[in-house]
A and B are shown apart, each in its own frame.
Chain A
Amino acid sequence: MHGIDWVDVGLSVLKIAIVLGAMLNVTPIMVWVERRGSALIQDRPGPNRVGPFGLFQSFADAFKFILKEDMLPAKANKILYTIAPMFGLIPALTTIAVVPWGRPFTLPGGRLFEPIIANVNIGILLIFALASMGVYGIVMAGWASANKYSLFGGIRASAQMISYELSLTLAAVSVLLAAGSLSLTDVVWRQTGSFVLFNVIKLPAWNIFSPAMWMAFIVFFVSGFAETNRMPFDFAEADAELVAGYHTEYSSMKFALFFMSEYMAMATMSALVTTLFLGGWDIPWYTEPATWVGFALSVLSFVTKVSIILFIFVWVRWTIPRLKYDLLMKLGWKVFLPMAVVNIVIVALFIARGWL
């Protein structure tokens, strides 16, 4: 090895530090948003004792988790029981690496700063590969706990994941077809600028506004709820039926890891929805300059979009009740899968006619 580019290494470490810091802070912030948001929706005060507006409630929760006793069920499979929470966390933390979170700009030294940890040409496939590993954390936890509620949670999670991952991936295929690339950087660059509808309305060229892809957006977004085990589809947890589902037996930091991975998976899914359909870091009706100002504005735009999607996650959780299991399966296989496949054909037609 000769001539390691230390500036490059430093920039990479900086990028990893920024993204990792943001991801780790998502959980306490989102827990607060979730608790205050649910209180707002249900017309009650919510946590308001610790700090202003109860902002420090999450820290109190974290301390409680650390100080709690770590229980191990007598009949549990000890190895699998211990590594299951880690298996849940790793995919949630790593998938964000291929998502671009700002406009590239030139540093004073003439070097191009690309705000993405790993700009690999199979970007989206890497996300799906790692995200599909996430379910093993749940299945492992459910099975290793030696508890029938946990086991049912694990079984349900695997069944649900098989059903919804397919439509999720196929919905993303539409976007990739239109972009002609698997790299998320290309997907975002294709959505910059704007297009004019009926010579009157000027819309940003985001995929959600494209007549060929709004259906894929619906499929992807709803399947994203299922993929992250959020409320209308939280069958692995289903606290009304299964106590706490796959993490019934977990306590202390092991439980906290599941909790963290749920919110991180949510954040990653929001970032993915933003990147694939909402133009990523693109600011509507505005061309960002290729300087650090444009970079800062684009990062702000990206974070705003992700925050809105995250809030929708919370909003939906406290608004829409859990589906029945057969309805969940019907929706996945008989509605979303055909919709996603039809949408691929539509996008292919649009590309063949040169409309995209």
Chain B
Amino acid sequence: MITFAVFFFFAAIAVIFAATVVLHRNPVVGALSLVASFFALAVMYVLLEAPFLAALQVIVYAGAIMVLFLFVIMLLNLQHQEEPRTRPVQQFLGYTSSAAFGLALIYYLAKFGVTQLPDGPFVSDARTVGIRMFEAYIFPFEMVSILLLAAIVGALLLSARTGATGVAPLSAGTTTENLAAPHDAAPRIEVAP
């Protein structure tokens, strides 16, 4: 009974904040709402007897990735700007396609009866997850690592384009550094000997 109450409370929170992410026109509020939504999702994992997964969900998504998102949004959008309402056709297409996807999801969930958990005690501690990941799912795991490595190399390539073009590196760290200490960012005047 109490499980149901907790479930519906946090399900409502997850849905409301997910809707806020899409509908609110301020990107910072959107990102903070996404954090709340992720947090409510972690509670779902706890209810599914997977506390390990719940902790990882909060640490990785709500804690690390969204902080990075917020950092970038705040850095690029310093003047509290709100998104201008433009492109009505795309907006219409976006709403209809996501509505269609949602309906399809509900239809198939109802059709195949995926509303009941399978039986049996669930073990999802760190040991079990680790063993499964490095035995049964070692290939996908390594593929994901390579994918991430490719992304890192790509980011490095984009951010380290100096010298040839003379453009200053546009990495996040450099930008804040410039913002934090304007006098350091001023062009250096070479004094002729």
Interface residues of A (CB under 8 A from B): 75, 77, 80, 120-122, 125-126, 128-130, 132-133, 135-136, 139-140, 142-143, 146, 148, 151-152, 154-156, 158-159, 161-162, 165-166, 169, 182, 235, 241, 324-326, 329
Contacts and interface: CB of A to CB of B under 8 A. Distances in A.
Interface of B: 28-29, 32, 35, 39, 42, 51-52, 54-56, 58-59, 62-64, 67-68, 70-71, 74-75, 78, 80, 125-126, 172-173, 176-177, 179-181
A203 to B, nearest CB: 29
Contacts, number: 95
What 3 A-B pairs have minimum CB-CB distances, sorted nearest first? Answer: A132-B63, A125-B55, A129-B58
B71 A132 contact: no
A152 B180 contact: yes
B67 A161 contact: yes
Contacts of A121: 51, 125
A156 B176 CA distance: 8
Contacts of A158: 67-68, 70-71, 74
Contacts of A136: 32, 35, 67
Contacts of A152: 179-180
Contact of A126 (B39, B55, B63): B55
5 contacts: A121-B51, A139-B74, A155-B75, A156-B180, A329-B177
A151 B74 contact: yes
B63 A165 contact: yes
B147 to A, nearest CB: 19
Contact of A329 (B28, B35, B126, B173): B173
A325 B71 contact: no
B51 to A, nearest CB: 5
A140 B32 contact: yes
- From A156, A182, A325, name the one whose CB has the most chain B CB atoms within 10 angstroms: A325
